[in-house]
């Protein structure tokens, strides 16, 4: 463990943190605030690293891979790591004392896995130093940052009820309206069970391999969602290979989350047969005609547990599993990580979800505030976290999730839809939409076209001011994530362009 003590009044310091995986919060907050941690244990392992949870304490902030502390003059300190290939890096900043005379901040950096060098810079320019250290990490890990894709994704309007016909109908309409999508991506719902990717669900109306040819004819690349490290207890995969599962101390398969109506398990990626199966899965999807894969719930392979090969640490186990998928899909496949340990994926994925899911509603306050869980789907949570990870564009193409341009099937108002569009421009990564094209009127289509315009990532103007606990002041837009208007900025709104 490396430690530093800063002689500074904690009440004057802001902290910028990045949570463990795609859905975990990233925030810019006064150091003396409370870092929320989910009240329910199952939300801890599904949204965070259970081995290094958000503290839940006032004045104690935990962050993964990088951490920054900001003084009122915009200078401060940046902690980072030289490498995250096979290690997890845990940062903690702790406020002690509360006055100019006795106040100090203690910072620690701990590496789980093979030793890596940590950097700790005092700087007059936190923004620039964090960008530089992030870029160096990206270079060391051979980050892939291909051109951002413009993706239509089935999830946020069809959810698990997606059908082959709905995919083709939306692609046909997109072509008719000359919407500039590159990829049509089929999400969760086509498969018969979690882990049984090769057999179709009853309602899908076909097989996943039936889709790519039709999309190609319409001028689109086919994309497919997989949660390749997961298996449900009802799946054939689990029945055939119980010995492939990550286990708990009790030697039983470990429940790694609750979704799809119950608990699910994860594959043990230190098992050579599992790696072979993963290579085969990705190669098969590629063979069906999907050069674009959204690889979801990847955190499952990295959870603490009992593994076939106990000499492999969990960061390395995760990375080996991800590499097997890359090997199977081919070097020229486009891989989007999701629900994934972030820095551990650099150099293997092309793009990465950098926040929780967008939803057609602004905020779910009861879950976020009362259950301490801001990893749930909402426009507010997605903006909050993706904006606070702006510097990660040197690790992969950031994917801040979909725009929502429709008015039907949505509780978002036009101010909130505009704020999502502004966020997509500022983040400057992947563009995605899930709106049924038939639901878009002229205004909706115009907003969608705007959201599909590729831009370069923007930079923050300042870290010493923020509206709503996230990084909100950029050179191209200012965001108000609070529930009240601030000057001429409406609640849940963005001033964009500035």
Q: Please give the helix or strand (H or E) that residue 425 lies within, else none.
A: helix 414-427
Q: Any catalytic annotation for residue 296?
A: yes
- Measured from the CB of residue 223, what is the shortest distance to ligand 9PG in angstroms? 11
Q: Any catalytic annotation for residue 309?
A: no
Contacts (CB under 6 A) with ligand 9PG, residues 31-70:
46-47
Q: Which residues contact 63 (CB under 8 A, 6 or more apart)?
A: 15, 16, 17, 18, 19, 91, 92, 93
- Residue 403 makes contact with ligand 9PG by CB under 6 A: no
- Measured from the CB of residue 184, what is the shortest distance to ligand 9PG in angstroms? 14
**Closest CB to ligand 9PG among residues 225, 244:** 225
In the list 6, 21, 23, 322, the residue contacting ligand 9PG (rule: CB under 6 A) is 23
Active-site entry in 296, 350, 363, 399: 296
Question: How long is the chain?
Answer: 498
* Residue window 253-292: x/- pattern of binding to ligand 9PG, with contact defined by CB under 6 A: ------x---------------------------------
Beta strands of 207-310 (E only): which ranges?
221-226, 230-231, 257-259, 262-266, 292-295
**Closest CB to ligand 9PG among residues 16, 293:** 293
Tell me the longest C-alpha to C-alpha distance in the chain.
71
**Closest CB to ligand 9PG among residues 162, 463:** 162
**Closest CB to ligand 9PG among residues 186, 491:** 186
- Residue 434 makes contact with ligand 9PG by CB under 6 A: no
* Residue window 182-201: x/- pattern of binding to ligand 9PG, with contact defined by CB under 6 A: -----xx-------------
- Measured from the CB of residue 69, what is the shortest distance to ligand 9PG in angstroms? 30
Pick from 368, 479, 362, 357: which is nearest to 412 by CA?
362
- Residue 373 makes contact with ligand 9PG by CB under 6 A: no
Contacts (CB under 6 A) with ligand 9PG, residues 311-350:
338-339
- Measured from the CB of residue 72, what is the shortest distance to ligand 9PG in angstroms? 37
Query: What DSSP character marks residue 26?
Result: E
**Closest CB to ligand 9PG among residues 236, 259:** 259
- Residue 229 makes contact with ligand 9PG by CB under 6 A: no
- Residue 296 makes contact with ligand 9PG by CB under 6 A: yes
In the list 88, 158, 197, 225, the residue contacting ligand 9PG (rule: CB under 6 A) is 225
In the list 52, 91, 155, 181, the residue contacting ligand 9PG (rule: CB under 6 A) is 155
CB 371 within 8 A of CB 40: yes
- Measured from the CB of residue 55, what is the shortest distance to ligand 9PG in angstroms? 21
**Closest CB to ligand 9PG among residues 45, 92:** 45
Pick from 358, 365, 350: which is nearest to 433 by CA?
358
- Residues that bind ligand 9PG (rule: CB under 6 A) add up to a total of 12
Active-site entry in 83, 196, 357, 373: 357
Contacts (CB under 6 A) with ligand 9PG, residues 97-116:
none
SS3 for the chain, per residue?
CEEEEECCCHHHCEEEEECCECCCCEEEEECCCECCCCCCHHHHHHHCCCCCCCCCCECEEEEECCEEEECCCCCEEEEEECCCCCCEEEEEEEEECCCCCCCEEEEEEEEECCCCCEEEEEECCHHHHHHHHHHHHHHHCCCCCCCCCEEEECHHHHHHHCCHHHHHHHHHHHHHCCCCCCEEEECCCCEEECCEEEEECCCCCCCHHHHHHHHHHCCCEEEEEECCCEECCCCHHHHHCHHHECECCCCCECCCEEECCEEEEEECCCCHHHHHHHHHHHHHHHHHCCCEEEECCHHHHHCCCECCCCCCCHHHHHHHHHHHHHHHHCCCCEEEECCCECHHHCCCCCEEECCCCCCCCCCCHHHHHHCCCCCCCCHHHHHHHHHCCHHHHHCCEEECCCECCCCCCCCCCHHHHHHHHHHHHHHCCCEEECCCHHHCCHHHHHHHHHHCCCCCCCCECCCCCCCCCCCCEECCCEEECCCCCECCECCCEEECCC
CB 190 within 8 A of CB 288: no
List residues near ligand 9PG by CB under 6 A. 23, 46-47, 155, 187-188, 225, 259, 296, 338-339, 357
Q: Which residues are catalytic?
A: 296, 357
């Amino acid at each position: 463990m490396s430690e530093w003590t800063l002689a500074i009044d904690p009440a004057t310091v802001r902290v910028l943190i990045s949570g463990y995986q795609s859905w975990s919060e990233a925030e810019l907050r006064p150091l003396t605030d409370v870092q929320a941690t989910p009240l329910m244990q199952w939300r801890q392992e599904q949204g965070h690293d259970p081995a290094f949870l958000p503290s839940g304490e006032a004045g104690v902030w935990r962050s993964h891979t990088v951490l920054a502390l900001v003084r009122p003059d915009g200078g401060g300190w940046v902690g980072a790591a030289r490498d995250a290939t096979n290690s997890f890096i845990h940062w903690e900043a702790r406020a002690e004392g509360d006055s100019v005379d006795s106040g100090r901040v203690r910072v620690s950096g701990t590496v789980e896995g093979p030793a890596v060098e940590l950097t700790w810079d005092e700087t007059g320019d936190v923004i620039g130093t964090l960008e530089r250290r992030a870029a160096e990490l990206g270079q060391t890990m051979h980050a892939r940052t291909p051109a951002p894709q413009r993706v239509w994704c089935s999830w946020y309007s069809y959810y698990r009820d997606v059908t082959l016909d709905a995919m083709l109908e939306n692609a046909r309409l997109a072509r008719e309206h000359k919407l500039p999508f590159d990829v049509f991506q089929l999400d969760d719902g086509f498969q018969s069970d979690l882990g049984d990717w090769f057999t179709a669900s009853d309602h899908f109306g076909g097989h996943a391999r039936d889709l790519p040819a039709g999309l190609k004819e319409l001028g689109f690349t086919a994309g497919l969602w997989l949660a390749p490290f997961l298996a449900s207890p009802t799946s054939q995969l689990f029945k055939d290979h119980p010995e492939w599962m990550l286990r708990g101390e009790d030697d039983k398969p470990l429940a790694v989350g609750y979704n799809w109506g119950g608990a699910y398990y994860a594959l043990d990626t230190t098992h050579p047969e599992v790696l072979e199966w993963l290579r085969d899965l990705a190669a098969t999807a590629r063979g069906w005609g999907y050069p674009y894969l959204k690889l979801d719930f990847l955190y499952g392979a990295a959870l603490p547990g009992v593994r076939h090969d106990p000499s492999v640490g969990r960061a390395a186990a995760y990375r080996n599993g991800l590499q097997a998928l890359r090997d199977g899909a081919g070097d020229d496949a486009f891989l989007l990580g999701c629900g994934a340990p972030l820095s551990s994926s650099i150099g293997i994925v092309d793009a990465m979800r950098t926040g929780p899911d967008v939803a057609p509603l602004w905020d779910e306050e009861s879950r976020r505030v009362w259950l301490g869980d801001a990893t749930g789907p909402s426009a507010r949570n997605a903006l909050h976290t993706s904006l606070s990870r702006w510097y990660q564009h040197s690790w992969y193409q950031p994917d801040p999730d979909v725009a929502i341009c429709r008015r039907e099937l949505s509780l978002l108002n036009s101010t909130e839809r505009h704020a999502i569009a502004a966020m997509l421009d500022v983040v400057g990564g992947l563009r995605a939409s899930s709106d049924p094209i038939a639901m878009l009127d002229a205004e909706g289509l115009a907003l969608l076209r705007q959201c599909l315009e590729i831009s370069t990532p923007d930079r923050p103007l300042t870290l010493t001011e923020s509206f709503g606990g996230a990084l909100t002041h950029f050179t191209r837009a200012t965001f108000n994530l609070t529930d009240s208007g601030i000057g001429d900025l409406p609640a849940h709104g963005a001033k964009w362009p500035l």
